[in-house]
Structures are given as structure tokens and as C-alpha cells.
Amino acid sequence: MATGFLDFKFSFLGEPQIARRLQIHAEAVEDLGGAFDLMDADFLETQTGQFKSRGVQGGGLRWVPLSPEYALRKAVRLGVLPKGRGRLSLRGARGSRQSPFAALRRVVGLQTRLADLVLSGRLKKSLTERGGEHIYAATNLRAVFGTAVPWAGWHQSGTKKMPRRRPIEFTARDKRRWVRILQRWLHDEFDVRTVRA
């Protein structure tokens, strides 16, 4: 039985997540598609937990809420609160005057939804469900997982005006699990024994 090496790398937006070299005792493995399918299913499950925990599952801190000032501006821009002539209007849809507390509750609700990265639900759906804007493209020896939602990178890295709220964060435990998925799949499919090189 021949001995060779299999380099297993995973990165997100250029940030290395996993880089392992496995020594394999078998003929050359030419197709890892089945392992990639299992990893995509695990990726979706992991991301579901990341959104439910508001960023904590990935080993980080809870995603930072929006500043009250920005939440208020966003509420007006999105139509959650009506805009008056140069100032916020507290009038309701029927023209009756609302309590300032009702308007404040709507802004706080929006602030929470934005901090949870689920205002429209596109980003969450693309990272937790197959289809739509979820990216999973696999060839024999390479796979790409992720999202086609344009603002995902801004949340992952943060900007000058926006704190980082990482929707994708792999813990050491997640990384070990992916390596084990690959090792188990190689063993089950090809009776291949692997050792971390």
C-alpha cells in the first residue's frame, strides 16, 4: 500500500480556518465529493447554531448591537419610523399621535434584528439552508462553501463604521470535527488509514 499526503485547507474570505496535512496509506484519492457533501451539511448545521446563539457558538462574544443613533437612522430609512420635516415624526399610519415609547420599542426591535444579522433574513438563510444564495460548489478535490450575499464580508470583517459581527466562526472543535469527517469518509469509502502529518 502506497503512502502519500493529502493537504486539507479551508478558508473564509481569505482567513484560514483549517490547514492540515494528512498522511494517507492508500493509492491516490481522486474524488472527495462525498466528504464535501457531509461537510456542507455540517457547515449549515454549525451556522444555524451560530445564528441562534447570536455569535456565541463560534467561540466569540455575542454580536454587538447597533448604536442607538444608527438604529434610529436605519429605522427611518427602512420605514419602521416615519420621517417628518427634518425630524422624526411620532405620528402613526392613521395620523394619530403615538406614544414616544411605542416608537422607541419599534427602534429597539429593529436594533435587535439588525444585531442578529437577520433584518431581511437573506444572510441567515444563505448560511443555514441549501439553495438560494447558499454557495456549495464541489469538484473532485476542491469545494467552496459560503454565501453570495454581498454584505456578508462586511459583517465578517467589520468596517470603519460597523463593528465586526462574524457570521462564520469556526472553533477548534469545529475544525477537528471537519478533519474527522474527512478521515472517517476516507476510511469508510476507501478503507484508507490517515495520520496527521
Determine the pLDDT at residue 27.
Answer: 63
CA 28/CA 173 separation, integer angstroms: 28
DSSP 4: E
pLDDT, residue 83, reads 64
**DSSP labels, 116-176:** TT-SSSHHHHHHHSSSTTEEEEE-SS-EEEEE--TTHHHHHH--SSS----S----HHHHH
Reported as a single tens digit per residue, the pLDDT across 89-114 is 444 444 545 555 566 666 666 666 66
d(CA 195, CA 181): 14
Q: Quote the pTM value.
A: 0.74
**pLDDT at position 10 over 50:** yes
pLDDT tens digit string along 17-67? Answer: 777 777 776 566 778 889 999 999 999 999 899 888 888 886 777 888 777
**46 burial via Cβ count (<10 Å: 0-12, 13-18, 19+):** buried
Among positive and negative, which fits the CA dihedral 144, 147, 151, 153? negative
Closest by Cα among 31, 47, 57, 7 to 145: 47
